[in-house]
Amino acid sequence: MGGITCAALGGAGALMTYGVRARSSSLFAPSVYRGAASQHAMALTFDDGPSESTPVLLRLLAEHNVAATFFQCGANVERLPEVAREVVRSGHEIGNHSQTHPKFYFRSPSFIREELTRAQAAIENAAGVTPSLFRAPFGVRWPGMRAAQQSLRLMGVMWTVIGRDCKLDTKSIVRRVLPRIDNGAIVCLHDGRELRARPDVGNTIEAVRRLIPILKAEGYRLQTVSQLICPTN
């Protein structure tokens, strides 16, 4: 009996882990993690901004005429509303990355809804746009997220490639990201560090400076996530 129970629990545990963390899971909330493999296109995404360094990244993207997607935290948007506005003015997409960047494990549906709703309002107030995309902090999905996303009309977005750019140096970020990019890839990088003010994101920006010319030379179209997952946008 013990064996059967353990096997059943093991199965449930594995399903739970998959549902909460796997990039391809839509168990607790609908999400995508890549665009169509038929198009030679990909998307750069930046989480945890806006930060004091975001304008440097915006200038770099403008130099290369590249549009990206920024998953912003409401608290950071409230700290730097002008930077959030600048992101939109520069032709980029803003997605919702929650208000305070919590881990959603064991949080109530009302807590989850509140976090998503407050971030949505902060972005609307500062930047004048209503996000249609949501990236869960730490990639953690939890019961209650589906209803919260549905009520705010938010599609979840995970990633094809995660840069580990909070930990790695520039060279290692490039070495990690580049071989994993293929058609439809969504790359997750960071222009902030959760809610920290004045975070050091220099390695990320230098990695992007190296990556963009290589990706362009390979013929990739660099698009926003909405353009990538819904080509009529």
Q: Which residues bind Zn ion (CB under 5 A)?
A: 47-48, 137
Show Cβ contacts of residue 155 under 8 Å, excluding neighbours closer than 6 positions.
Answer: 30, 31, 32, 132, 133, 134, 149, 229
Beta carbon of residue 137, minimum distance to Zn ion (angstroms, whole number): 5
Of 47, 48, 165, 191, which is the active-site residue?
47
Closer CB to Zn ion, residue 76 or residue 224? Answer: 76
Closer CB to Zn ion, residue 139 or residue 220? Answer: 139
- Active-site residue, 190 included: yes
- Active-site residue, 47 included: yes
| C-alpha neighbours within 13 Å on the C-beta side of residue 205 | 17
Beta carbon of residue 186, minimum distance to Zn ion (angstroms, whole number): 14
Of 92, 97, 190, 191, which is the active-site residue?
190
Q: Which of 83, 68, 73 is nearest to 116 (CA)?
A: 73
Beta carbon of residue 229, minimum distance to Zn ion (angstroms, whole number): 20
- Phi, psi torsion values for 54, nearest 5 degrees: -55, -40
Rounded Cα distance between 41 and 219, Å, is 8
Closer CB to Zn ion, residue 74 or residue 137? Answer: 137
> Which residues are the active-site residues?
47, 190
